[in-house]
Structure 1
Amino acid sequence: MAVGCQPETQAPTLESRAGALAGEVGTWTPTSAKTYPSTSAILLRGTGEVLDPYFGFVHRYDPYTNTWRAMNPMCSPGYCSNAVLTELPSGKVLAGVMFAGRMGGTPGMMLYDPGTDSWSHANASYSRGSVTLLDSGKVLLAGGYTYLGGNLVPLATAREYDPDSDTWTPLPGSMTTPRYGHSATLLYSGKVLVTGGASSEAPAELFDPSTGTWTATSPMPHPGGEHRALRLYSGNVMVLVTTMGASETPVDMYDPYNGRWFSGPALPFTQPTSATLLYSGEVLVVNNAGQAALYSPTQNAWLPAASATASTSRGAAVLLHTGEVLLLNGSTPVAERFSR
C-alpha cells in the first residue's frame, strides 16, 4: 500500500544531479527454462503469478517456486497474437488480440479467468489503440487504426467497455488528434494523459471520464513519436521519448497539479522498450540492447544498472510482488529477474 501526501500547490523544480553510484546498480538472475519468447505479460495480483501468452500458447510463471507451467491456449496456437493485457477489478484479464487475417490480422478482445484457466470472447471492439483501466472499473479504448482502401488510417474514436455487463459504449467526444502507438497513463485525479503516437507532432491530451471529453494539455517539449510513459509516486508522469539518430533519450515530465511540462534528466541511452516503477519509487528502464538504468527521484538522476540479455524484439517487464522485475525476452525464450 502506498501512502501519499497532498500535492504541492506549485510544481517542484527538480535540479538534476550527477550523483550516480560508482558501480552498476542491481543484478540479473535467469529464471528456470521457458519454452517460448514473450510478446506481452501481466502480473496476476491474486496469485502473484505472471501470465505470459505467445501466439496462442499461454504460460504462467510462479516467482515463488521459479517455475513455468503451460495453461489452456488463448486460441489455436499460431492463429492469434496478443497486443495488450489489462487486469480488471474482478481479477480477470482483458486481452486485445489480433487474429490471423489480412492487413495485419483481425482485431478482437478476449477475457481470461485465472481461477478456471479459461478464455472467452469479450463483447468489445478493439481497434489496436490504447486500453486503460479507469477508477470506475470501466476500460477506456482510445485511438488505434483501421484500413480503408488498403491504406492505414489513424483513429480518434474513444469507447468505454463495462466488464460487469460485457458491453461497450461510444463516448461523446473523440481525441483531439487521430493516433495509434501512443501511451495512455491514468492520473491520481482519474483523468487519462495520452502522449505520442504515429502522428509526427501529436499534442498531449487529457481524457476526463466524468464528461467523456478530451482537451489538449499545454505544449509538450517532444510531442511526436513513440513514448514510454508512467506515473511516478509524486503524481508526475515521466515520458521517455524515442528519437532517431540521438545518443540519449529525452525525458519530459508532466505536472498534473499545475498542468505544465518540464524537462527531466535525459536517459543516457536510446530506444527504451520498458519502464517499470519499483516499490522504492525508482524507475527501471531497459532497451533491446540490454542497457539498463535506474531513475532516482530523490537525486533526479539516472544510475547505471547491470545489463540484461539483449533481444531483437521487445519483450515485457513486470514488477513482481517480491519487488523484483521480471524481464521477458521478445526474441528468445529467456526470462530474468532484476534485484535492486
Structure 2
Amino acid sequence: MLARPRQTPCMKKKFISQFSSARCSRARTLGGEGGFCSYVSMGLFLCLAGVLVAFFTFAGPTGALQAQGAAHQSNNWANVIKIMNPVSPQASGTWTVTGSLNAARFEHTATLLLNGMVLVAGGGDGTGNTLTSAELYDPATGMWTGTGSLNIGRSDHTSTLLPNGMVLVAGGTNSTETLASAELYDPVSGSWNATGSLNTARLGHTATLLPNGMVLVAGGSNSSGIIASAELYDPASGSWTSTGSLNTGRGRHTATLLSNGM
C-alpha cells in the first residue's frame, strides 16, 4: 500500500525553481502555521489547514493558482479542483471550484505546457494502486480531458518540461518497487514514449532543467535507503550520465536553479 501523506506543519512561503516539477511533498517540520504543505511549480510554498492539496501550478497567463487532487482529513481521496488568482488587484484570496479531475489521485505531477494547458500524470489512487492515466486541464474552459496513458503506472516521480515542449517523467514507484524508467510526453500527439532509464532507481528525488537544456536529477530514495547520487539527462541522446554526488544523501528535498546557473 502507498503510504498516505503525513500531516505536517510547513513554511508559509518558499521560492523554488521555475522549472522544478510540481509534486506532492511530505515536508519536514519547518515552523509556521499547522497544515498541509504543497509546492507551486513557479513560485510559492503554501500552507492549507485541514486539506492536503497534492500540488499547485499556475494555470495560464492570468497567474491563477490551481490546486489539484486532494485528501481531506477523513482520508477520503478526492478529485476536487480549486483555483485562486493571487496577482489580480481585485483578488480576494478565496478559492473557486473548477472542473474536477477524471480520476482522483495523489503523489502525481502537474506540468504547465507551452500551450498553456496543464498535464497531470500518474499518482496513486489511495487503494495501493498506481495510475497510468494522464489528463489535460484547459484554463479557458476549466475542463479536464484524458490524454495518452503512461507506459508504466507511477507515483512520487518527477515531471520536467523540456525546451522542445516535451515532458520528461522519471523514476517514482509502482507501489511494489522503485522505478528507474523514464518516459517522454509529446503534447502534439498526446502519446508517451520510453526514453533512457535512470542509472539508479529512485523516488522522492528532484529534477531540475538546467540552462544547457539538460535535466539534473538528484537524491531520492529506494530500497537501499537514501540516495546521494545525481544524474544528468540529455534530451538529444535520451541517455543519463552520472555526475557528482551530493555530500549528504537526501530525499523529499528541494532543488532550485539559481540565476548564475548553479
Query: Into which bin does the TM-score normalised by the smaller protein fall?
Result: 0.7 to 0.9
How far does residue 107 in structure 1 lie from its aligned partner after superposition?
3.7
Give the structure 1 partner of residue 37 of structure 2. Answer: 39
Q: 1:247 to 1:174 in 2, by over 3 A?
A: closer
Give the paired residue count: 219
* Matching of residue 193 in structure 1 with residue 171 in structure 2: no
Q: Which residue of 1 aligns with 2:241?
A: 262
Q: Which residue in 2 is equivalent to 1:285?
A: none
Secondary structure of the corresponding residue to residue 243 of structure 2: strand
Higher relative contact order (CA 8 A, sep 6+): 1
**Contact 1:109/1:124 (CA < 8 Å) preserved in 2?**
yes
1:145 aligns with 2:124: yes
**Alpha-carbon distance between aligned partners in 2 of 1:104 and 1:124, rounded to the nearest angstrom:** 15
2:166–2:185 contact (8 Å) kept in structure 1 = yes
Contact 1:99–1:106, Cα closer than 8 Å, also in 2: yes
After the TM superposition, which residues 144-223 of structure 1 pair with which residues of structure 2 at under 5 Å, given as runs?
144-147=123-126, 151-171=127-147, 173-199=148-174, 200-223=178-201
| Alpha-carbon offset, residue 152 of structure 1 | 1.4
Cα distance in 2, alignment partners of residues 183 and 217 from structure 1: 14
Aligned 1:96-115 pairs, distance under 5 A: 96-100=68-72, 102-103=74-75, 105-114=77-86, 115=88
SS at match of 1:90: coil
Supply the distance in 2 between the matched residues of 1:219 and 1:44 (Cα, whole angstroms): 27
Unaligned runs of at least 5 residues, structure 2: 1-30
1:38 deviates by: 6.5
Quote the residue 2:213 is aligned against.
235
**Letter of the 2:254 counterpart:** S
Gap runs ≥5 in structure 1 = 1-32, 56-77, 283-340
Question: Could you say which residue in structure 1 is the equivalent of 2:18?
Answer: none
Provide closer, same or farther for how the CA distance between residues 130 and 246 of structure 1 changes in structure 2, counting only shifts above 3 A.
closer
Amino acid across the alignment from 1:197: G
Question: Retained in 2: the 8 A contact 1:195–1:223?
Answer: no
The structure-2 alpha-carbon separation of the partners of 1:98 and 1:156, relative to structure 1 and needing over 3 Å to count, comes to same
% identical equivalent positions: 30
Structure 1 segments (4+ residues) deviating >6 Å: none
Mapped pair 1:226 → 2:204: yes
Note if 1:280 corresponds to 2:251: no
Letter in 2 for 1:196: G
Check whether the contact 2:42–2:57 (CA below 8 A) recurs between aligned residues: no
More strand by share: 1
1: CA distance, partners of 2:202 / 2:72 = 30
In structure 1, how many angstroms separate the alpha carbons of the residues matched to 2:215 and 2:42?
24
Shift of 1:35: 4.1
Distance 1:43 1:243 in 2: 22
Question: Contact 2:136 / 2:146 at 8 angstroms: preserved in 1?
Answer: yes
**How is 1:79-118 mapped onto 2 (pairs within 5 angstroms)?**
80-88=51-59, 89-100=61-72, 102-103=74-75, 105-114=77-86, 115=88, 116=91, 117-118=93-94
Shift of residue 246 of structure 1? 5.9
Give 1:85's aligned amino acid.
F
CA deviations over 1:170-202 (Å, ceiling 9, x no partner): 11x210100111100000000000011113234
1:42-68 Cα offsets, whole Å, 9 max, x none, are: 4887xxxx462322xxxxxxxxxxxxx
Q: Distance in 2 between matches of 1:85 and 1:239?
A: 21
2:47 is matched with 53
Question: For residues 159 and 248 of structure 1, do their structure 2 counterparts lie closer, same or farther at Cα, with a shift above 3 Å needed?
Answer: closer
Deviations 1:108-149 (A, max 9, x none): 2210112212211120315221111000000001111214xx
TM-score (norm 1): 0.59
- Flag the 1:109–1:135 CA change in 2: closer, same or farther, 3 A: same
CA drift at 1:226: 2.7
Q: Distance in 2 between matches of 1:153 and 1:247?
A: 23
